[in-house]
Structure 1
Amino acid sequence: MEEIRINKYISKSGVCSRRAADKLINEGHVTINGVVAETGSKVTEKDIVRIDDVIINLIKDIKVYAFYKPVGYISSLSDEQGTGIASFLPQGMGLFPVGRLDKDSEGLMLITNDGNLMNEILNASNGHEKEYIVTTRQKFNNDFLIKMAKGVPITNRATGKKIITAPCKTEALEDNSFKITIIQGLNRQIRRMCGYFDIDVVSLKRVRIMNIMLGNMRPGELKELTQSELIKLRRMLEKV
């Protein structure tokens, strides 16, 4: 392997994005062969790169999967109740979920060993679309969907402040079912948006993340992205 800049090396290892790597380098967390790295330092595969004494290796085989998370499982790998998704995934590949999907919801998640890809998808400012099918206990009218699409006041649980959700797309499917496409990822956002109008969500299924579709996958199914899906996904990320 020819020499590459240290921030690119860290990014290609799947640990974090280049921007995050630059921050680690500037803060003195990165060493090359025992010497504190500088911005612009270059390395090869023969060099030993560490972040806080942890050796960082390049990922030679990056994997990205579509996963159908079933209802009743949290979106992290494990928890004390054994309801994490680790049992559905191959072991020893360094895989982790991209983003979250609450325990009561089901549908599409992306699973990867590429930390840089994960950060690019999760960056809220990039405006990546996520599409859901929502079934409600009550019937609703078109006015409800119009108001949902314009934005709804909810509390940002990370800051405790009231915010208006970003404009989104809504489409009626039945008198108690609709499709919604959002670009945010606030905690239980769609359920809370519906709750503002006293509408109870019975089921919520994520069916699309950017260009990746759930399609006819079954709960618990894991499917590696095709080359064309991955190429299109990366092109969409590059356009941001």
Structure 2
Amino acid sequence: MIRIAKYIAGSGLCSRRAACRLIESGHVQLNDRVAIHTDRVSNDDTIVVNGQTIVPPAAYNYYMYNKPVGIDCVCNPQDADSIVHQINTPVRVFPVGRLDKDSHGLMLLTNDGELCQRLLHPDYYHEKEYRVTVDKPLTGQFLKTMSLGVSYGNVTTLPCQVKRQSDNIFLITLTQGMNRQIRRMCKALGYRVIKLQRLRIKSLRLGDLPLNQLQPLPNDQVLELKQP
């Protein structure tokens, strides 16, 4: 018997965090009653999410995707810009985390809810690398402050790796995943992001994958992603 959110995530419908939100909003039924977070289930139970009966997949699938600017990572079929209109896979997969609509680059798509949970959980500090173009020349002070941590709103970002690539382009490697984090860090220091591209998630690299294309992951890459 496992927690119902973990079961839903294991079905490939969504991440465990998203499953928790569905349960909290009353969109999940367990054996003809509204489910609660503490419910534990097995394959003998009937779990229905928004009218869809949940069945664990026979196998998990993993893809890397080069997201273009203008594509929204929210899986909303009613949104013409949603990523669901850009991907065509034999089984339903969902994005691991988000890449904002104005950014482009590497995304991981899967129906493995447990891997999604591990990659998104802040306790694991998984690296994500980005190439950032800003609106004016970089200074040594800017690069130093970005690497030590930037305060904006009521948060201070963790220290990170920052490396200058050119006059106004730098690479940054984060272990956090806060909403629009890089853009807000730059804004707090008086810079505006012109272009933002994700290059890497842990050991998975974008490489030369064409824009708006999917590529299945080989087993060795999947195993590397599953490493702690």
Structure-2 separation of matches of 1:42 and 1:163: 38
Structure-1 separation of matches of 2:119 and 2:213: 21
- Structure 1: segments with no counterpart, 5+ residues: 156-161
Structure-2 separation of matches of 1:175 and 1:41: 55
- Cross-structure match for 2:105: 107
> What is the TM-score of this pair, normalised by structure 2?
0.81
CA shift digits 1:44-63 (9 cap, x unpaired) = 6xx34325786331211211
- Cross-structure match for 2:120: 122
Are 1:97 and 2:89 an aligned pair?
no
> What is the TM-score of this pair, normalised by structure 1?
0.77
Distance 1:134 1:227, change over 3 A: same
Query: Structure 2 counterpart of 1:83, which letter?
Result: D
Distance 1:81 1:151, change over 3 A: same
Aligned-pair identity in percent equals: 36
Structure-2 separation of matches of 1:49 and 1:81: 30
- Cross-structure match for 2:141: 143
Q: 1:189 aligns with which of 181, 184, 191?
A: 181
Runs of 4+ in 1 over 2 A off after TM superposition: 5-17, 29-34, 39-44, 47-56, 77-81
- Cross-structure match for 1:50: 47
Q: Is the 8 A contact 1:135 1:203 kept in 2?
A: yes
Q: Please, what is the CA RMSD of the aligned residues?
A: 3.0
Q: Is the 8 A contact 2:77 2:84 kept in 1?
A: no
Distance 1:234 1:91, change over 3 A: closer
Q: 1:153 aligns with which of 151, 166, 173?
A: 151
Structure-1 separation of matches of 2:65 and 2:170: 22
Name which of structure 1's ranges 108-117 and 48-57 shifts more when overlaid on structure 2: 48-57
- Residue 31 (structure 1) shift: 5.0
Distance 1:98 1:40, change over 3 A: closer
Structure-1 separation of matches of 2:94 and 2:10: 16
Distance 1:187 1:40, change over 3 A: closer
- Structure 2: segments with no counterpart, 5+ residues: none
Name which of structure 1's ranges 78-87 and 6-15 shifts more when overlaid on structure 2: 6-15
- Cross-structure match for 1:133: 131
Higher alpha-carbon Rg: 1
Structure-1 separation of matches of 2:82 and 2:39: 40
Q: 2:166 aligns with which of 162, 171, 174?
A: 174
SS in 1 for 2:165: strand
Query: Structure 2 counterpart of 1:93, which letter?
Result: V
Structure-1 separation of matches of 2:84 and 2:8: 25
- Residue 116 (structure 1) shift: 2.1
Q: Is the 8 A contact 2:12 2:92 kept in 1?
A: no
- Cross-structure match for 1:223: 215
Query: Structure 2 counterpart of 1:95, which letter?
Result: V
Name which of structure 1's ranges 210-219 and 88-97 shifts more when overlaid on structure 2: 88-97
Q: Is the 8 A contact 2:150 2:188 kept in 1?
A: yes
- Cross-structure match for 1:67: 65
- Cross-structure match for 1:158: none
- Residue 92 (structure 1) shift: 6.2
How many corresponding residue pairs? 216
